[in-house]
Chains A and B, each alone.
Chain A
């Protein structure tokens, strides 16, 4: 069966520090991958999506970047965090070509101080 892992689950970072969040999918190949952010009390905002290795589309210009170095690995990064980067970051995947259920990881909760 397919599973999705995200880490770290929780982190507290100072303003100006770098960030790296990782997401790995198991049990499937060539998935479409997504990064969402949910700020406190807000909805899910689509940040990036990827249809294949090295292919990244950005939905919202901001202080973050994404990379897909391997088929089932999706990384969210920042060189210098801002206070406004705080939130709940969720990685999700779906089988390519389908429009059914989007499967989420357990999320990474980031607090920038």
Chain B
């Protein structure tokens, strides 16, 4: 079983739609969680951290369910500029540092 699993998509949605991505992780000792955004042929960039209480940043809402080892990202009112790959990232302590394990990413295409 992969350490971090995501549906690869693609998710093709019209502008203005709401879309949700899910991610599961296998290491119950994982300590912190993130969503990164990666544009085509570019480096990943942090979209938002994910907290146990859930958190929101504008049109983006992230949720964490530690019991089910599950993370989600909700995007409301999708824009064309939201088209990208969204990477779920799980962080656990090991070897004297934090190891960031990435999912394979979910591709989103927002259509005009």
Question: Which A residues are within 8 Å of any B CB, using their own CB?
Answer: 32, 34, 36, 42-44, 46, 49, 51, 55, 57, 59, 88, 90, 92, 94, 96, 98-102, 104-107, 109
Bound: A82/B95 CA distance, A? 29
Collect the chain B residues with CB atoms within 8 Å of residue A59's CB.
Answer: 99
Bound: A105/B93 CA distance, A? 23
The dominant DSSP class at the B interface is strand
For chains A and B in complex, what number of residue pairs have CB atoms within 8 angstroms?
A: 57
Q: Which of B43, B95, B102 contacts A105 (CB 8 A)?
A: B43
Please determine whether A49 and B95 come into contact, CB atoms closer than 8 angstroms: yes
Bound: A34/B34 CA distance, A? 17
Bound: A72/B101 CA distance, A? 22
Please determine whether A46 and B100 come into contact, CB atoms closer than 8 angstroms: yes
Chain B interface bracket (under 10, 10 to 19, 20 to 34, 35 or more) = 20 to 34
Bound: A34/B94 CA distance, A? 14
Collect the chain A residues with CB atoms within 8 Å of residue B34's CB.
Answer: 101-102
Among residues of A, the one whose C-beta sits closest to the C-beta of B107 is A41
Question: Which B residues are within 8 Å of any A CB, using their own CB?
Answer: 31-32, 34, 41-46, 49, 87, 89, 91, 93, 95-105
Nearest-Cβ distance from residue A49 to partner chain B, whole angstroms: 6
Bound: A71/B32 CA distance, A? 26
Nearest-Cβ distance from residue B2 to partner chain A, whole angstroms: 9
Known: A34-B100, A46-B100. A106 touches B31 (CB 8 A): no
Bound: A101/B42 CA distance, A? 17
Known: A43-B87, A44-B87. A102 touches B43 (CB 8 A): no
